[in-house]
Amino acid sequence: MTVQVGVQSYPLFIDGKRQPAAGGETFEVLNPATGELIANVAKAGEADVEKAVQSARDAFDKTDWKGLPPKERAKRLHAIAHEIKVHAQELVYLETVSSGATVRRAAANDLTLMVDLFKTMAKFVLDYPFSETLPSAPFPGPSHNFVWREPIGVCAAITPWNMPMLIATWKIAPALAMGNTIVIKPASYTPLSTLKLAEIISKVVPPGVINVVTGPGKEIGEALVSHPKVDKVAFTGSTEVGKTIMSLASGTIKNTTLELGGKSPNIILEDADLDLAIPGSLFGVFLHSGQLCESGTRLFVPDKLHDEVVKRLVALTKTLKPGNPLDQATDIGPVISKKQKESILSYIKAGKKEGATLVCGGKELTVPGCEEGHFIEPTIFTDVTNEMTIAREEIFGPVLSVIRYSEVDEVVELANDTIYGLAAGIWTQDVNQAYAVARKLRAGVVWINDWHMLRNDAPFGGYKQSGIGREMGKHSLDAYTQVKHVHTSMVPDLHKRSWYQILFSNSEQGEG
């Protein structure tokens, strides 16, 4: 893999061009695995948000971008997929050094999904019902009726630091597929891959269709989501910030989609194949050091299997190799920052204080060659109850809570006893039992004998406080369109119009 040499400077990306921030300020981006400075990035202020939104507005209002025929739009989406492939190595590198994603995951998973997402959207666009003709109806009488689906306009996307480039594409791809324009504000820890992505995409779309502003969420994020010229907001991040965003977006009644936190229940049933369920459950919770919203952080284990499951979980966890995420041999990378590390350690402390038993990990880790990085041992607690802080709050770190249960009805109740509803999982060899339990789980995705298996043609999003709306799948296209009903009466005689008699009961006298 090509390794970037020295500290790079990254300007904003507005109107198809790299541009410095109006105030001339920058902020630093550090490698979470080594603590090294990797980039100085332009720190946008309100003037830059204004410029980016105006550029997106003009591209929407004044160019033919929104009216491209589906065939041409599909062609552009395929061209974007191609450009991502061409720049794969650089994108994977930027993602790895800024977010701490292992290079194995970023290359094999994220990049593959991104390329496929644009191709999938291209396919959907060709089939999308942009205009539907309604059948004739007795009321209001003979008429031609269409339902047109149109782009919403200027979209603001605010993205998190955990999977920055993949999550950015979940917003960019459907927005562009439907003819919208977009301004993205990536997380301040991880803006690099999104800036690169915008440059790549701008090769195949008009200037202003895609813009990126970088800087503090509290300032420019809020300016963006409350901007009167922004029509739609798409956010991924914490539930707390999601609530602020929803409230700010309500000021101008913006269409809003939110993909928020999770505390996903992972249920091992008594007949589960443990050779699959044990590694599968660890993959579900420790991928990306647990910094994934859909991680299976509450593992429900039946009394009968409890001791064996715990023994095997601990033994397998101890084989995971922490290291620099750029190293192909690394299984577990860093967490994003010192602040995040401290937050995770404080949850581990709370777990011990509230009576859970620490059976694995629990401490920060020093990785040779990465002494300034932020690593935490994959951690497992047993004797956890669903009321404990570690079972209720999103830790966003490599911490698994094992919770015992005895009956299936009881475990369904415990699984649903959370404010979140993003994902859930079931391990069993009885498919009927699996579907019966899946029906009862209040979550946007249920994996049976698997975890983290996101597909570009399947919707992803949360029940309850895990969010509103869906990303990926055909449903995501609906989230970036609005519908218009167009009616033309086919009744030439005024007196036969259904509305005539309603208002003009005395009209005969006045006519003629």
- Catalytic site positions: 259, 293
Question: Of the ranges 170-178, 230-238, 312-320, 353-361, which one interacts with ligand NDP (CB under 6 A)?
Answer: 230-238
How far, in Å, CA of 238 to CA of 112, rounded? 26
192 lines the binding site for ligand NDP (CB under 6 A):
no
Among 244, 416, 449, 489, binds ligand NDP (CB under 6 A): 244
Q: Of 322 and 462, which CB lies nearer to ligand NDP in the complex structure?
A: 462
Q: Of 83 and 394, which CB lies nearer to ligand NDP in the complex structure?
A: 394
Query: What contacts 24+ positions apart, CB below 8 Å, involve 358-367?
Result: 359/310, 359/314, 360/313, 360/314, 360/317, 360/318, 361/317, 361/398, 365/322, 367/33, 367/322, 367/323, 367/324, 367/334
Count of residues that interact with ligand NDP, criterion CB under 6 A: 25
Question: Of the ranges 121-129, 169-177, 237-245, 272-280, which one interacts with ligand NDP (CB under 6 A)?
Answer: 237-245
CB 188 to ligand NDP: min, Å: 4
187 lines the binding site for ligand NDP (CB under 6 A):
yes
Question: Of the ranges 119-127, 133-141, 212-220, 314-322, which one interacts with ligand NDP (CB under 6 A)?
Answer: 212-220
Is there a contact between 29 and 60 (Cβ–Cβ < 8 Å)? no
Q: In this structure, how many other beta carbons lie within 10 angstroms of the beta carbon of residue 308?
A: 12
Query: What contacts 24+ positions apart, CB below 8 Å, involve 404-407?
Result: 404/300, 404/301, 404/302, 404/303, 404/306, 405/300, 405/301, 405/302, 405/303, 406/302, 406/303
Among 29, 30, 125, 241, binds ligand NDP (CB under 6 A): 241
Q: In this structure, how many other beta carbons lie within 10 angstroms of the beta carbon of residue 312?
A: 18
Q: 2-38: buried (b, 16+ CB within 10 Å) or exposed (e) per residue?
A: eeeeeeeebbbbbbbeebebbeeebbebbbbbbeeeb
418 lines the binding site for ligand NDP (CB under 6 A):
no
Reply yes or no: is the peptide bond before residue 140 cis, omega within 30 of 0. Answer: yes
Report the residue closest to ligand NDP, judged by CB: 217
How far, in Å, CA of 331 to CA of 318, rounded? 11
Among 45, 153, 179, 237, binds ligand NDP (CB under 6 A): 237
SS3 category, 395: coil
Among 62, 71, 203, 218, binds ligand NDP (CB under 6 A): 218
Is there a contact between 394 and 263 (Cβ–Cβ < 8 Å)? yes
Adjacent-strand bridge partners of 355: none
Among 39, 394, 446, 472, binds ligand NDP (CB under 6 A): 394
444 lines the binding site for ligand NDP (CB under 6 A):
no
How far, in Å, CA of 204 to CA of 105, rounded? 27
CB 348 to ligand NDP: min, Å: 14
Among residues 350, 334, 362, 380, the alpha carbon closest in space to that of 101 is found at: 334
How far, in Å, CA of 502 to CA of 505, rounded? 7
396 lines the binding site for ligand NDP (CB under 6 A):
yes
Q: Where are the alpha helices (DSSP H) in 361-464?
A: 389-392, 408-416, 431-440
Among 222, 231, 377, 471, binds ligand NDP (CB under 6 A): 222
Question: Of the ranges 90-98, 104-112, 132-140, 238-246, which one interacts with ligand NDP (CB under 6 A)?
Answer: 238-246
245 lines the binding site for ligand NDP (CB under 6 A):
yes
Kindly state the tokens that stand for 456: 């570009």
Residues in 255-314 at the binding interface with ligand NDP, rule: CB under 6 A: 260-261, 293
471 lines the binding site for ligand NDP (CB under 6 A):
no
Question: Of the ranges 152-160, 272-280, 407-415, 485-493, which one interacts with ligand NDP (CB under 6 A)?
Answer: 152-160
Q: Of 458 and 483, which CB lies nearer to ligand NDP in the complex structure?
A: 458
CB 222 to ligand NDP: min, Å: 4
What phi and psi, each to the nearest 5 degrees, are found at residue 494?
A: -50, -45
143 lines the binding site for ligand NDP (CB under 6 A):
no
CB 26 to ligand NDP: min, Å: 14
92 CA to centre of own chain: 18
Binding residues for ligand NDP (CB under 6 A): 158-162, 185, 187-188, 216-218, 221-222, 225, 236-238, 241, 244-245, 260-261, 293, 394, 396
